[in-house]
Structure 1
Amino acid sequence: MYNIFPFATLVFVVLDKAGACKRSITTVSGSQAPNGIICSGDLIFEDDFNELDLKKWQHEQTLGGGGNWEFQWYTNNRSNSYVEDGILHIRPTLVADDFGNDFLYSGTLEISGGSPADECTNPQFYGCIRTGTATNIVNPIKSARIRSLHSFSFKYGKIEVKAKLPTGDWLWPAIWMMPTYNQYSSWPSSGEIDIMESRGNKHLVNPYGTNIGVEQIGSTLHFGPNPNYNKYSLTHYEKNNATGYDSDFHNYQLEWTENALTFFVDDEVVGTVTPPSGGFWELRRLADTGLDNPWKRNSKMAPFDQEFHIILNLAVGGVAFFPDDGNNPGGKPWKNDSPKAATDFWEGREQWLLTWDRNSDATHLKIDYVKVWAL
């Protein structure tokens, strides 16, 4: 088969007729970004995870739940993020194992440290301090979310992440990108690129009988003039694999050019977004809203014409990603509109904890490498 996305092959510098490198349109920034001229085809960022390189990756430390009231506490702890045998592991653990069950209902979690690396990274949604109550417990799960915010960002290029996804009910692994500078204002005006999202449930199916757990991955662009007009429905794609994306490593890929964004899994196209001349405003007929177009002074790729950074994380639950009408063995212990969703999740742990094999690495998001090439 013709390989239109040669991630698994050697990348050669493209030469012009004079023998010099063909200058890339890719731009980069950050402490780990290459200096000087970037040639088309250059490998501009790479991590094979021979170590957990904190010069390349910064941990987010927050209780905020990713804007979805997710149930995890993101922290910098080697129980939750570590490298072993050339593989990055992001692992969920129980807060009760560290502090006891009663702490969830009456204890206080406050993220503050003696150095900038230990400080709370996002105060939104009570992200820096929470005190548990009988109806609103503190985040019951610890996990990790790492990003290249300060070390590497790029605009236009090809990215590949080789990963093996976790198994366990209500786990939510993600490989994605966010704008390094919110050029067009706050989310989703400045965009979001979800290269891969999945659910750890083995047997979760939608009302039509389609597995939406470990057998399915999704790729999505989020954009809109404000959160009420997050017009992702036309830029969301799904791909199913009957053996499950937890059974082996797969390559999750994005090709991002001045004209289109294309998502791949193992070199197979999942979906392509090609905005018309009127850009994403025209693509989603946002003129019908009567709102002001925040991208009208920029290219048709706006908001996806700015530098983005890479994020790798493992979330748990929340009130947005796991549908209430899904069919899952044992049911779903919380409702998305419940004011005490985290409490219901924790108190329903007999349903999900048995699906977390905590004696193996099955619940871990495992990353073999991350690579980015210039166009």
Structure 2
Amino acid sequence: MKNLKSTVTLLILFFVLASYKKAGADSATKTPPSNLAITAIVSADGTGKVNFTATAENAISYAYEFGNGDIKTVGSGAINYQYAASGTNTYTVTVTATSNSSLTVKKSIDVTVTVTAVVPVLFWSEEFNTDGAPDPAKWGYDLGTGSNGWGNAELEYYTNRPENAVVQGGVLKINALKENYNGSAYTSARLLSKGKFSFTYGRVEIRAKLPAGVGSWPAAWMLGSDVDTNPWPACGEIDIMEHLGRTLNTIYGTLHYPGRSGGNADGSTTVIADATTAFHVYTLDWSAAAIKIYVDGILYHTTINSSSIPFNHDFFFILDVAMGGGFGGAVDPAVTNATMEVDYIRVYK
């Protein structure tokens, strides 16, 4: 009987010790980060660059909120970041340190950054100075109708014929023509720089004159280069210029992305005097901080950029003249041709 009591006592003691050890282990694994410290070294050269370092005990990752809508997560706690907004601005930077048990601690600091105005440098351009077909080193074509997956119930058949796209007299002419062609009532061209030129961030200037026919729908726009693996609208779309022949001189600047696509797109309009009889400069100013759209230097649409929208990767250009469709509307039967002329496209960095 004595031996039985001893055995029971030992078993109880074993379970108590095991429970104590387990509780201690659980307590250790659930320790939150502590002693979070943040340092920021601001570059004095006016570039907006800041070298951040965050340290904390028991932390395995650090999420930075840079005070401008941008968020990035790093494992080491060190990150180099560049602010884009011109002038002197103070940002509240918040760092969230996370432990391996997902416990967190936060800390914020204020950082004052100066970005001086920098004269942009020409990065890429298409001047359309050589007569003939558009430069094949810079431009390819979408061919066919909207049934290929990129249509909007439009009426044209896109071709690569010189009748529909030609460089002549220092301008690119995209001609939409009323003609029966492969079952379509109109032909036109849709040029794209996909696979030939794409870029992230910069200032784009497009000088163009637009067609006037009711039902015409010219556009100078951009798509995310990952469109084949990340289909629209997830890839992002930037419409630098759209115009409708049924509402002459109204210019559309629009962004499409998840939650803001189709009829719920993120955009604005402006009215100019002579879009179809004179050349105007349509401008995109695109940075990590914001996306701004202008006509002749006048800003009319701004979207704050952030990591939550798909405008922080490479995009390529598209130039086209559509006829009809959901946005273009009914085509006036008297319209036999509609031509968009593009003098140049310039990208500055």
Q: Write the distance in 2 (CA, Å) between the matches of 1:160 and 1:184.
A: 28
Amino acid paired to 2:124: F
Q: What is the distance in 2 between the residues matched to 1:149 and 1:53?
A: 13
Q: 2:286 aligns with which of 256, 260, 263?
A: 256
Contact 2:145 2:151 in 1 (8 A): no
Structure 1 alignment gaps of length 5 or more: 1-15, 18-24, 26-38, 100-108, 110-137, 202-212, 280-298, 324-331, 333-344, 346-351
Structure 2 match to 1:340: none
Contact 1:73 1:143 in 2 (8 A): yes
The secondary structure found in structure 1 opposite 2:334 is helix
What is the aligned partner in structure 2 of residue 200 from structure 1? 245
Cα deviation per residue 1:321-353 (whole Å; 9 max; x = unaligned)? 046xxxxxxxx4xxxxxxxxxxxx6xxxxxx24
- In structure 2, which of residues 113, 126, 147 is the aligned counterpart of residue 47 of structure 1? 126
Alignment counterpart, residue 167 of structure 2, candidates 83, 106, 120: 83
Q: How does 1:1-375 map to 2 (within 5 A)?
A: 41-51=120-130, 52-64=134-146, 66-96=150-180, 109=182, 138-182=183-227, 185-201=230-246, 213-224=247-258, 230=261, 233=264, 235-241=266-272, 243-275=273-305, 279=306, 299-300=307-308, 302-318=309-325, 320-322=326-328, 332=330, 352-356=332-336, 358=337, 363-374=338-349
2:173 and 2:339 in contact (8 A); partners too: yes
Residue type at the aligned position of 2:218? P
- How far off its partner does 1:40 sit? 7.5
Q: Is the 8 A contact 1:216 1:244 kept in 2?
A: no
1: CA distance between counterparts of 2:176 and 2:119?
39
- 1:232 & 1:64 partners in 2: Cα distance? 18
1:366 alignment partner, SS class: strand
| Separation in structure 1 between the aligned mates of residue 152 and residue 158 of structure 2, nearest angstrom | 14
> C-alpha distance in 1, partners of 2:328/2:166?
27
| Larger proportion of strand | 2
Partner of 1:10: none
Q: Tell whether the 8 Å contact from 1:196 to 1:217 is kept in structure 2 after alignment.
A: yes
Shift of 1:355: 4.1
* 1:271-308 deviation per Cα after TM superposition (whole angstroms, max 9, x unaligned): 11115xxx4xxxxxxxxxxxxxxxxxxx24x3111100
| Cα separation, partners in 2 of 1:151 and 1:303, compared to 1, 3 Å | same
Residue in 2 aligned with 1:127? none
Q: CA deviation at 1:316?
A: 0.4
1 CA distance for matches of 2:229 and 2:281? Answer: 31
SS of residue paired to 2:322: strand
Identity rate, percent? 32
2:215–2:245 CA contact under 8 A, matched in 1:
yes
Task: Describe the SS at the equivalent of 1:67.
Answer: coil
Q: How far apart, CA to CA, are the structure 2 residues paired with 1:60 and 1:67?
A: 11
Deviation sequence 1:101-151 (CA, Å, 0-9, x none):
xxxxxxxx4xxxxxxxxxxxxxxxxxxxxxxxxxxxx22111001011011
| Distance of 2:250 and 2:287 partners within structure 1 | 26
Cα offset for 1:183?
8.7
The CA deviation at 1:262 is 0.2
* Distance in 1 separating the partners of 2:226 and 2:274: 36
Runs of 4+ in 1 over 3 A off after TM superposition: 231-234
Q: Which amino acid aligns with 2:267?
A: H
Instruction: Give the aligned residue type for 2:292.
Output: T
Q: Using the alignment, how far apart are the partners of 1:186 and 1:217 within structure 2?
A: 26
Deviations, residues 80-117 of structure 1 (Å, cap 9, x unaligned): 00011101000012333xx6xxxxxxxxx4xxxxxxxx
Amino acid of the structure 2 residue aligned with 1:238: T
Letter of the 1:86 counterpart: G
Residue 42 of structure 1: CA displacement? Answer: 2.5
**Alignment TM-score, normalising by the size of structure 1:** 0.57
Matched residues in 1 for 2:266 and 2:251: separation? Answer: 14
With 82-91 and 60-69 compared, the bigger mean Cα shift is at: 60-69
Residue deviations 1:227-272 (CA, integer Å, cap 9, x gap): xx6376462100012x331020000000001111000000000111
Alignment coverage as a number of residue pairs: 232
Secondary structure, counterpart of 1:141 in structure 2? strand
Question: RMSD in angstroms over aligned alpha carbons?
Answer: 2.6
